[in-house]
Amino acid sequence: MDGCKIIKYTGYRNSMDSTGIIFDLKKFAIHDGPGIRTTVFMKGCPLDCGWCHNPEGRKNDPEKILIRNRNSKEESFGREITAINLLKEIEKDRVFYEQSGGGVTFSGGEPMSQVEFLAEMLQLCKRNKISTAVDTSGYAPFEFFKKIYDLTDLFLYDLKIMDNDLHQHFTGVSNKLILDNLTKLADMGNKIIARIPVIPGVTDSKDNFDNIVKFLVPLKNITEICLLPYNKLGEDKRERFGLSNNLGKLSIQENEEMNRLADIFDSSRFRVKIKG
């Protein structure tokens, strides 16, 4: 299982009383799939990306973190929520989903870290006719994808670095499982948007992009490529959370640079978007 550290799936219990751990709920999200969405940020992630701007999403359980600023103090991150209460939160914006073609996106962290709760939530949303998307690093046993496949309208699937040694170095895990899963998932028929975090000096080389194009071209059901510009928020956050910042201070890409990277997909059949 490629050293995968994710908890074992034991089948969803289909109980509205079951609970999951979330660390944020973003209303009116417009970059996490089509239309207006509610994005649910679930705790737990087996990766350790040097550029992560959600370090509070890494650990599985709620936690208190000493925030280092002028008045350093402990803050809590993560709360337990029942499936029914989370559904009620999601339901509040149904009218916006219906008008805009939106829905709910489960993100993280890595939502597969709580696959039982994720499957339950997806099933509840489906039953209530709310469109579903799952934003994943792809680093989970394929068995997990099979469990949620019928319940997920859209996968937002991250691709970071094609060179396995570099992937291991910058994210803490091999990319083998991630690439294998995407190949299998693409054969199953669900819509997939491949998302590439554009990290200066890490993922943004022509070589990496050429290899991503080469890998994606033969795959079916990839409807779009989305380039995610570097988010500097992660640097401050990592500092405030007392985490190491091995990448140092990086500059945000200029528009021309993002367009140059998008152009690498020109000769492919993919529609490419740059997230604002």
- In sequence order, the β-bridge partners of residue 6 are none
47 binds ligand SF4 (CB under 6 A): yes
201, amino acid identity: G
39 binds ligand SF4 (CB under 6 A): no
* H or E element in which residue 192 lies: strand 191-198
162, amino acid identity: M
What size, in residues, is the chain?
276
110 binds ligand SF4 (CB under 6 A): yes
22 binds ligand SF4 (CB under 6 A): no
Helix locations, the chain, DSSP H = 83-91, 94-100, 115-127, 142-149, 164-171, 176-188, 206-216, 233-240, 255-263
Stretch that binds ligand SF4, among 24-32, 47-55, 87-95, 225-233 (CB under 6 A): 47-55
108 binds ligand SF4 (CB under 6 A): yes
Nearer to ligand SF4, 56 or 116 (CB): 56
222 binds ligand SF4 (CB under 6 A): no
- In sequence order, the β-bridge partners of residue 102 are none
- Among positions 121-180, residues that touch ligand SF4 (CB under 6 A) are 137
Do 2 and 174 form a contact (C-beta atoms < 8 A)? Answer: yes
48 binds ligand SF4 (CB under 6 A): yes
Stretch that binds ligand SF4, among 40-48, 182-190, 219-227, 268-276 (CB under 6 A): 40-48
Taking the complex as a whole, the smallest distance from the CB of residue 113 to ligand SF4 amounts, in Å, to 9
Residue 106: which of 129, 128, 94, 123 has the closest Cα? 123
Nearer to ligand SF4, 243 or 274 (CB): 243
Nearer to ligand SF4, 103 or 138 (CB): 138
Stretch that binds ligand SF4, among 15-23, 102-110, 182-190, 214-222 (CB under 6 A): 102-110
45 binds ligand SF4 (CB under 6 A): yes
78 binds ligand SF4 (CB under 6 A): no
Residue 225: which of 159, 149, 141, 137 has the closest Cα? 159
The DSSP annotation for 104-149 comes to EEEEES-GGGGHHHHHHHHHHHHHTT--EEEEE-S-S-HHHHHHHH
Taking the complex as a whole, the smallest distance from the CB of residue 108 to ligand SF4 amounts, in Å, to 6
Residues that bind ligand SF4 (CB under 6 A): 45, 47-49, 52, 54, 57-58, 108-110, 137
